[in-house]
Amino acid sequence: MGQGHSNEEAASSSTFSIDQAPHLLAKRFASKCFQPVELYSLRDNFKSLADTSNDGKQYWKEDTFIKFLSIPDALGDGVGSLLYNSVTFLGSLPLTDAGPAICDADTLVKAVAIYTGRYTRALTGASSTAAIKLIFRSFAVLDKVEGVSAGDGTPMEPKEDPFVIGDSEDEEDEITIASLEALDAGKDDISKDKKRKTQFYIPREDFKKIVLLALFTAAIEPQQSLSVFVDRLTPEGLQSLQETAECVVKAVRMKEGKGVIYKDFKAAINTSLPYFLESFAPLFEHLLFAKSTDFSSLPTASSDTAATTAEKQPSILASLLSTDTDPNILTIDLLSQISFFLPPTTLFHNVRPLYTASQHGFSLGSFETKVHKWSAPTILLIKGTRLTTATPSYAQPFLKRLPLAPLPFGSTSTDEDENTTLIFGAYIEAPWKNTLRSCFGTSSTKLFQLSPVHEVWQGNPNSEDFVYFNRQSDLTIGCAVPKSSNSHLTQYTAPLLPVAPISLSIDSGLEFGYLHHAGHHSNAAFRQNRDSPREAGAEWQERFEIQEIEVWGCGGDKEAEEQRKKWAWEEREAELRKRINIGKGDIEADRALLEMAGIIGGGRSGGSIG
C-alpha cells in the first residue's frame, strides 16, 4: 500500500506541470497539515454551503464565507471582504501572480494552513515567520506610481525604495520556493513577474479594519462562534474597539500618509506586534469543526440588535478573567491588544486580579500585600491623565523632582491636551520583592504603552536594571538603584526621581508617574525601536497623574493557592511573635523559651527572670 502511494507520487512528479501546482500544493497541505477528521469537517462545511458555477466547479461566494465565520456587519463596511480577498489570494499559491483563485476547497485548505501556521509541517524549507510577507501581500494593493511595474513587464528603476516588495529575493519567495521545491519543481518555474520589483502597500483605512477584526477575534476559541462577543457591538463597545484599533495603527509607520509598506509592517510585527497574526488562527480553525449552517442563528450584527442581546448575556470579559466584576483598566479590547505582544495562552482564561489601587489603596504597602508572594509572571497596568503646562498646584512637588526640563509629549499633536488618557504597563516574569540595594527581573521583562500609541520596549540582555521596589522609595522600571536612600522623603527634601533612557517611574504615593524616552544606549534596560513611528532617537516624556493601577497575575488556581499559603504562613508567624510575652507570670515557660533561643543555659545565666 505504501509502495503504491510512493509510485503515485513519483508518477505525478514526473509529469509535473506548473499549472497543476496550486492543486498539488493543496493536496500536500491536506495530507501533511490536518488530521483526517479535520479535513473531513472542512470539506463537509464547504460542500454544505457551496454554490456551483456553470462549468460545474463548487465554490463559496464572499457572503457565504463571511456568514460562516460570523463576521459582524457592525465592524464596518469591507471588513469581511478584506479577509475574503486575502483567502482567495492565498488560494493561488504558489502562483500568486496569476491572480486570485476561486474560493474552493483547495483555497480554504491553503488559507487555513497559512493562517494557523500549519504550513511548516508541509514545507520544510519555510520558516515559522515566512507567512508574514505572504499575508501582508494578500491585503496589499499596488502602488500606482510612475515608473513602477504594474504587471505590464515594465521594470522598475534600479534604486532602493522602501515601498519595494521583494528587495530581498530569498525572503520574498520563501513560501513560494518552498512550495515548488516540495512539488519537485524549481525556481525556474516561478513566474517572471514574481521576480520583478513592484510596490505594494496596505491603505491605512484597510489596515485599521484588519486591526479591528484582529481585536474582535483575538479571544475567540476554535469552536466558539463570534456571536458570543455580541455585547461588544453596542455603540459604546464599537467606539472602544475603534479607539483601541487606532492606538495599534499608530504602532506602525505610515508611508507618506498612504498606508503601511512591508518593511514597516514587518518591523512592527518583530517588535510591538509579534502575535498579531495569531489572532486570526482560531477564526480559521472554525473550518475544521463541522457545525450547523443555519444562518438564522448567526449575528447579522447591527448595533441595535447587539445592544438588545447584550443585556441578556453576562460580561464576556468576566469569563476570560478569573474575576466576578469588570476591572477599571483591563477591558476586553485592551486584553486583546496585549495578546498582540504576549502569548495568548498566557492571557485568556489565565489571568486573575491581584491588586487594584482604587479598591485596595493607593500605597506601596497595599501593593506589596496583594502582589508579593505571587510566583508566576505579572502584568502591571497604569492609567493616568497627562500633566500639561496647566498643571495643578498639588502636582508641583512631584514635578520639582523631575531631573529634566519639560520635553515633547510622546504622541502626535492631536493628542497633546490635558484630557489625554495614557495607559502604560509592564510584563514581569520574576516574582515581586522588596529590593533595597538591587533590582530584580530579567530581559524577558517588557515595558509597554497601550494608549494613545501602542509600543513595546523589549528587555535588554546586557542590563539588570529592570524593576526596583522599595516601600520607602519610588517604584521604577528600567532605572538603576537610587543612589541615595528615600526612607525619609518629604515634598521639600525628596531627591530627584530616578530616570533612564527608556524607563517608567512612579512616586512612592502612587499619585504621579513619569515615562522617559531617549536615544539608544547599549546598557539601557530596554531597547529602543528603531522603526517606531516616533523617531527612534528622539527624546520625549510623559508626565501624568495616576487614576488607577492594576496588577494581574498570569497563572491559575495552583499559583493562587501557592500565594495564599505563603501569606498564611507569614501571618501565623507574625501572630506567634505577638504572643511572645516574657516576664508575664509563667516563669518556667519563659525560661524554656529563652533556653531554646540560646539566651540562657549552657553556662550563661542571662540574668534574672523572676
pLDDT score of 309: 41
Whether residue 210 contacts residue 202, with contact meaning beta carbons closer than 8 Å, is answered with yes
Predicted TM-score (pTM) of the model is: 0.82
Q: If you average pLDDT over residues 169-198, what whole number do you get?
A: 59
Mean pLDDT across the chain: 81
Confidence of residue 436 (pLDDT cuts 50, 70, 90): confident
pLDDT over 80 (residue 342) = yes
Least confident window among 148-157, 380-389, 551-560? 148-157
Q: Which long-range contacts (CB under 8 A, 24 or more apart) does 117-124 make?
A: 117/278, 117/281, 118/29, 118/33, 118/34, 119/29, 119/33, 119/175, 121/32, 121/33, 122/28, 122/29, 122/31, 122/32, 122/33, 122/182, 123/175, 123/178, 123/179, 123/182, 124/178, 124/182
Indicate if the pLDDT at residue 19 is higher than 60: yes
More confident residue, 187 or 467: 467
pLDDT at 300 > cutoff 90: no
Confidence of residue 145 (pLDDT cuts 50, 70, 90): low
Bigger pLDDT: 432 or 316?
432
Per-residue pLDDT, 518? 86
Q: How far apart are CA 377 and CA 372, in angstroms?
A: 11
Q: Binning pLDDT at 50, 70 and 90, where does residue 586 land?
A: low
Pick 418 or 461 by higher pLDDT: 461
The residue-averaged pLDDT of 67-81 equals: 94
Where does residue 228 rank: exposed (0-12), middle (13-18), buried (19+ CB within 10 A)?
A: middle
CA distance linking residue 308 with residue 27, whole number of Å:
45
Most confident of 5-14, 53-62, 170-179, 524-533: 53-62
Band of pLDDT at residue 402, cut at 50, 70 and 90: confident
Is residue 323 pLDDT above 80, yes or no? no
- Concatenating the DSSP letter of every residue in 354-410 gives EEEHHHH-SSHHHHHHHHTT--S-EEEEEEEEE--SS--GGGHHHHTT-SS-----S
Q: What is the pLDDT of residues 455-467, one digit of tens each?
A: 999 999 999 999 9
pLDDT at position 294, please?
46
Mean pLDDT (whole number) for 258-268: 93
Q: What does the pLDDT read at residue 225?
A: 85
Closest to 25 (Cα-Cα) out of 188, 181, 179: 179
Rounded Cα distance between 222 and 367, Å, is: 37
Backbone angles phi, psi at 591, to 5 degrees: -65, -45
CA 207 to chain CA mean position, Å: 17
Q: How far apart are CA 411 and CA 420, in angstroms?
A: 10
Domain ranges of the chain: 18-150+172-288, 343-557, 559-596
Residue 404 pLDDT level (bands cut at 50, 70, 90): confident
pLDDT category of residue 384 using cuts at 50, 70 and 90 = very high
Q: Is the predicted pLDDT of residue 96 greater than 70, yes or no?
A: yes
C-alpha angle 46-51-56 in degrees, rounded to nearest 5: 105
**3-class SS of residue 275:** coil
Taking the C-alpha atoms of residue 541 and residue 502, their distance in angstroms, rounded to an integer, is 10
User: Which residue has better confidence, 168 or 248?
Assistant: 248
Indicate the range of 202-211, 257-266, 309-318 predicted with least confidence. 309-318
pLDDT, residue 157, reads 43
Segment among 333-347, 508-522, 590-604 with least mean pLDDT: 590-604
User: Other C-beta atoms within 10 Å of 193: how many?
Assistant: 14
Kindly report, residue by residue over 477-517, the tens digit of the pLDDT: 999 988 754 444 444 456 788 889 999 999 999 999 999 99
- Mean pLDDT is lowest, of 290-294, 556-560, 591-595, for 290-294
- Max mean pLDDT range (119-123, 240-244, 324-328, 527-531): 240-244
